[in-house]
Amino acid sequence: MKGWESHTRAVEALVASYAAIAPGDPVRLAKPTSNLFRPRSATDAPGLDVSGLDGVIAIDADAGTADVQGMCTYETLVDELLPHGLIPYVVPQLRSITLGGAVTGLGIESTSYRNGLPHESVLEMDILTGSGEVVTAAPGTDHADLFDAFPNSYGSLGYATRLRIKLEKVPSHVVLRHLRFVDAPSAAKAIAEIVEAGSWHGEKIDGLDGTAFSPDEIYLTLATFTDKAGPTSDYAGQRVYYKSIQRRETDLLTMYDYLWRWDTDWFWCSAAFGAQNRWVRRVWPRRYRRSDVYHRLLGLDAKIGVSKVLDRIKRVPGREKVIQDIEVPVEQLPDFLSWFDAEVGMRPVWLCPLRATRTWPVYPLTPGEIYVNVGFWGTVEVPAGSEPGLMNRRIEEQVHALGGHKSLYSEAFYDEETFAQMYGGEVLAAARHRYDPDGRLSTLYEKAVRNS
């Protein structure tokens, strides 16, 4: 636990490091990990000192709240909270995602169908703005405009140093049921029924997500939190979680293992590194079976170019990264998956229902409407000489046509006018005028599309 005195010193160090950056120089966080999948402009400029902002300040178990520093990872946050029988309302799938990152960059998980996105359980935030001032933003205050505009702003309005969040009381275990559906319309219908009722055939559902292995093999995983103990599965060992979905109808995990069930194999993406091969897995240290390790391996490949050499050997004409999370209204899910199968052909894909509790202008989902997040992460072959982002541009167009939205942690190709319409351009401009009058921070469009 960090405590308030330590937090105050860390904020002072951050403010001083910001003041030391010359006007016109790029502003970056000096952080060891990232969950972004878009390139950034190279710079030798020093980053902001966030080294002391990586922990929990205080927990109020009686009130069900915690004050947490912006660079605190969910792994650290869960480690602090679970001994109290508490977790955040939404715990994103990957251990190294930070609370500040999930709020300014969005996050999602199986409790999002009832709790929304991570920023919807934030009560107030301290934010270092572009003017170099730290302000407290909360609903009903003088800085309510910044509180509303901050989610999905990706550092274009500043950086959260402290967030007070609501917590959920949870038991020790989670019972899972994997329900198979033979087509997307029936799966979408079941999603809508579960979200509306909060239950399935009379049994309370605490978490809901899905895995689509093929057009006629789609599973919804229903999670029920319970104090009933028993033999539990271990998917941080030799077994792989996503493969169990096809092989068993029910399962039992500890709460801790449920929260990180996707992290060990980065959903299914660890297969690209051989980590799912039984012989490799036996010698791959358990502590290195985690998403941030695989992310670093990707970065190493980008520098060395092993995958490009292999593509030349295999005579692959061209390859494009398709790493995206999108949301479409639940009734449009079958149409999107049908289009996706025909045009992209990548499986499996992850499904995660959500429902926003209110309007957030920079990621404007209709409150009360059921959306389904579709996550797909990999590469596809494209014709030689294809325009950059050919497949990603098609995905953007299709999602937009279906009334959906796309997260901005990966590459985006929208023109500036369309981007402003979709991502609260007027609201962002007004907030930047007030909190960053000298324009020291990059705009959201510069960050998400121009990669500056």
Residues 18-35, mean pLDDT to the nearest whole number:
79
In tens, the pLDDT along 72-101 reads 999 999 999 999 999 999 999 999 999 999
Residue 237 lies in a domain: no
Closest CA to 373 of 332, 342, 418, 422: 332
Q: Is residue 209 in some structural domain?
A: no
Predicted confidence (pLDDT) per residue in 359-414, tens digit: 999 999 999 999 999 999 998 888 887 888 999 999 999 999 999 999 999 999 99
Give the chain's count of helices (H) and strands (E). 16, 16
Q: How far apart are alpha carbons 161 and 7 in whole angstroms?
A: 9
In this structure, the answer to whether residues 353 and 441 fall within a common structural domain is no
Residue 257 · residue 232 · CB < 8 Å: yes
Average pLDDT over residues 242-257: 97
* Residue 310 shares a structural domain with residue 371: yes
148-190: pLDDT as tens digits:
999 999 999 999 999 999 999 999 999 999 999 999 999 999 9
Q: Residues 258-279: what's their mean pLDDT?
A: 95
Question: For position 242, what pLDDT does the model report?
Answer: 97
Indicate whether 374 belongs to any domain.
yes
| Residue 144 pLDDT class (50, 70, 90 cuts) | very high
Percentage of the residues of the chain whose pLDDT score is greater than 90: 83
* Token output for 108: 């999602």
Task: Say yes or no: 345 and 436 in one domain.
Answer: no
Q: 13 and 127 share a domain?
A: yes
Q: Are residues 436 and 409 in the same domain?
A: no
CATH number at residue 20: 3.30.465.10
Q: What's the confidence (pLDDT) of residue 290? A: 93
Q: Are residues 159 and 58 in the same domain?
A: yes
What are the beta bridge partners of residue 67?
58, 164
379 and 321 in a common domain: yes
Q: What is the pLDDT of residue 183?
A: 97
Same-domain status, 9 and 138? yes
- Looking at the fold, whether 442 and 309 belong to one and the same domain comes out as no
pLDDT of residue 125: 98
Looking at the domain assignment, is residue 92 inside a domain?
yes
Is 123 found in the same domain as 99? yes
Q: Which residues contact 83 (CB under 8 A, 6 or more apart)?
A: none
Q: Flag whether pLDDT at 317 surpasses 80.
A: no
3-state secondary structure labels for all residues of 250-302: EEEEEHHHHHCCCCCCCCCHHHHHCCCCHHHHHHCCHHHCCHHHHHHHHHHHH
- Please, are residues 25 and 39 in contact by the beta-carbon 8 Å criterion? no
150 assigned to some structural domain: yes
CATH number of the domain within which 349 lies:
3.30.70.2520
| pLDDT, position 234 | 95
Same domain, 44 and 129: yes
Average pLDDT over residues 100-123: 96
The band of 46, judged by pLDDT with boundaries at 50, 70 and 90, is low
314 within domain boundaries: yes
How many Å apart are CA 358 and CA 144, to the nearest integer?
14
Residues 166 and 311 in one domain: no
Q: How many whole angstroms separate alpha carbon 31 and alpha carbon 266? A: 21
| 198 within a domain of the structure (yes/no) | no
For 284-295, what is the mean pLDDT?
93
Specify the number of domains making up the chain. 2
Output the pLDDT for position 50. 92
Give the whole-number percent of the chain exceeding pLDDT 70. 95
Residue 217 included in any domain: no
Helix (H, G, I), strand (E, B) or coil at 74: helix
Give the DSSP H or E segment for 243: helix 241-247
Q: What is the span of the domain harbouring residue 140?
A: 4-170+429-448
Give the integer Cα–Cα distance in Å for 440 and 302. Answer: 30
